[in-house]
Amino acid sequence: MNADQINVADLIEQIVEQLKAHPIMDKQPKMIGIRTGGEWIAQALHEKLGLTDELGILDTAFFRDDIARTGLSVGVQPSLIPWEIQDQHLILVDDVLYTGRTGRAALNEIFDFGRPASVILVSLLEREGGRELPIHADIVGLKLVSEHKLKLNGPEPLTVSVLDDNEETL
């Protein structure tokens, strides 16, 4: 499968259906999108699920374990968590899960805000074969094997592109 065959709108609808069936929806969850692609996916999910609490947004740049090697991204923005994290049930949304390092950084940042009751991870795409940390998504739109980096483009329209090995995904 190549990037132009990935229908992001269909994957979002599939994720919505999976979330509706997930027990976390009975616990008045709050949603957090990981900037940038995860934020765009979270915005769509948040609206389609009719969640009433404001969407939270994380920029994990300062929590990444590769910051000394790669440097700080030019577009770093502050995270926005408009409610208390303590004892909340959270839906954390990312665009592409591959190594697990962004998910780990997001969890570290969340715990700096407080201790949630639970966190589930939702990912639009799971690129298999490169996991470096024991982070997995509870809900995935599409699992695929790809030797290339995948990038979500948006916010309108949301599309997926394949990057050359020397291009950055952040």
Structural domain includes residue 116? yes
Tens-place pLDDT, residues 150-160 = 889 998 999 99
Structural domain includes residue 92? yes
Structural domain includes residue 131? yes
Structural domain includes residue 169? no
The domain in which residue 29 lies consists of 3-163
Tens-place pLDDT, residues 16-72 = 999 999 999 999 999 999 998 999 999 999 999 999 999 999 998 867 665 556 555
Structural domain includes residue 170? no
The model carries a pTM of 0.89
Structural domain includes residue 168? no
Q: Say which CATH number the domain at 136 has.
A: 3.40.50.2020
Query: Cis (ω within 30 of 0) for the bond into 157?
Result: yes
Total of domains in the chain: 1
Dist. CA 32–CA 72, nearest whole Å: 22
